[in-house]
Amino acid sequence: MRRKDDLAIDRIKECAKAEFLEKGFEGASMRTIAERAGYTTGILYGRFADKSRLFRELVQEGADELSAYYSDVQEEFASFPADRQRREMHSYVDGKVGEMVDIIYRHFDAFKLIVCKSAGSGYEYYIEKMIDIETESTERFIRTLNRAGIRTNEIRADLSHILASALFNGFFEVVAHDFPKEYAKAYIRQLQDFFNAGWDSLLGLAPEDGRTRQQ
């Protein structure tokens, strides 16, 4: 049988999620959360020091799982020899996207809060941090190919960041618009196909055999 305190925390978290989803982090009120849960603000603050701590309690597990998985994927890819990176530049990441979607849908409410309701919280720039990882990984990938004698067209860092931003903001549209999971996977596959073709063109790499196609 669960302890009374555990049940109180579950009730508070349930009501906090409803409050944050309705009003966003900035508009949510600890007093209102306490009232919704049927507790005093003293009881609420006794378990969660402030609104930021309560929001983090709701989103941290999913957020950490996704960011750790994505970082691991990028680091593993970077460990491959240059010729393998060139050969698998699309297929490797495409093969990992399904697991990223699975993580998001296992923690869908958490990502709904992050994507749509996190302004003013410690998770406001969560997606931007992933964009930064993507941008740095792209620049590292280009350097790796060029050092190995696989020449690419020069890509400005600001363009790389803009494209990474477009990709990730497009990716998280599935959360913003409450796509069913299977629809989300099909949409993201199409999004990946679009960006893969675009990167082949920008880098000047023929998708069939990796030969450089200079602009």
- Give 22-72 pLDDT, tens digit per residue: 999 999 999 999 999 999 999 899 889 999 999 999 999 999 999 999 999
For residues 94 and 192, is the Cβ–Cβ distance under 8 A?
Answer: yes
Paired tokens of 116? 């749509």
Across the range 150-178, mean pLDDT stands at 96
Paired tokens of 174? 């599935």
- Give 111-163 pLDDT, tens digit per residue: 999 999 999 999 999 999 999 999 999 999 999 999 999 999 999 999 999 99
| In the predicted structure, residue 212 carries a pLDDT above the cut 60 | no
Question: What pLDDT, on the 0 to 100 scale, is given for residue 205?
Answer: 87
The stretches of 79-147 forming alpha helices (DSSP H) are: 82-87, 91-106, 108-117, 126-147
Helix (H) or strand (E) holding 23: helix 4-27
Provide the 10 A C-beta neighbour count for residue 116.
15
With CA atoms as reference, report the closest residue to 48 among 20, 9, 22. 9
Across the range 94-109, mean pLDDT stands at 96
Question: What pLDDT, on the 0 to 100 scale, is given for residue 119?
Answer: 97
| In the predicted structure, residue 208 carries a pLDDT above the cut 70 | no
pLDDT bracket for residue 8 (50, 70, 90): confident
pLDDT bracket for residue 209 (50, 70, 90): very low
Q: Can you tell me the distance from the alpha carbon of 208 to that of 127, in angstroms, rounded to the nearest whole number?
A: 32
Residues 6+ apart with CB under 8 A from 14: 37
